[in-house]
Amino acid sequence: MNQTVMIPRLEEKKIVPVVKLDRTADAQPLADALIRGGLPVAEVTFRTDAAEESIRIMKREFPDMLVGAGTVINTEQAKRALDAGASFLVSPGTSEKVLTFALDNDIPVFPGVCTPSEIMTCLDYGLEIVKFFPAKQYGGLDTMKALAGPFPAIRFMPTGGVSLSNMKEFLAFKKIIAIGGTWMVKGDLINAGQFDEIAKLTAEAVALAKEV
């Protein structure tokens, strides 16, 4: 599945929960909570040792769920994510080695950018959807609107500083296909087993996104 095939699914959902799991035991109930909240999407970050197996569990238990790997910073992680069944890769920056691996293996990849040079690198690889990260620290909407001028083909998935309070503002900008956020899947909620609360917060976000 290439990036072009993935785009309509992300545009439909509008939100990508960015999940950090410390325990593989939380993978199944977390995925179930997101689905109950109306958002069968998760970007599982490779910040913990539980990431790879968590992706594998989610895909096994919920085959139709869109499960990707986040914070992929090298080809070794990219390969592990692919082997675990990840539907897509997300990087915090632009690594040409990761881009090459993803394209060679026909897995969608969304590299992180915050500068014109990084966007030009992504365009060289035929990629027109990028992660803008960290969005808040690099000027948010104002910066993305400025970058959209010289790069009209580029569209964004901002992550970092996106929340329930500003998500509608982000989604209203037509160059944004989806937003990445952690507020509905905070670590303290996951670690405390508060999956009903996660489902509730997810449903609130989904309802708000539909208003845009």
- Helix/strand/coil (H/E/C) assignment for every residue in 86-136: CCCEECCCCCHHHHHHHHHCCCCEECEECCHHHHHHHHHCCCCEEEECCCC
What tokens does 102 get?
A: 């993803």
Instruction: Point out the residues that are catalytic.
Output: 43, 131
What is 68-87 written as a DSSP string? EEES--SHHHHHHHHHHT-S
**Cα separations (Å) of 74 from 15, 86, 172?**
25, 15, 33
Rounded CA separation 127/153 (Å):
9
CA-based end-to-end distance of the chain:
28
How many CA atoms lie within 13 Å of 70's alpha carbon, on the beta-carbon side? 24
Cα–Cα nearest to 147, from 178, 110, 116: 116
Question: Which helix (H) or strand (E) covers residue 45, if one does?
Answer: strand 41-45
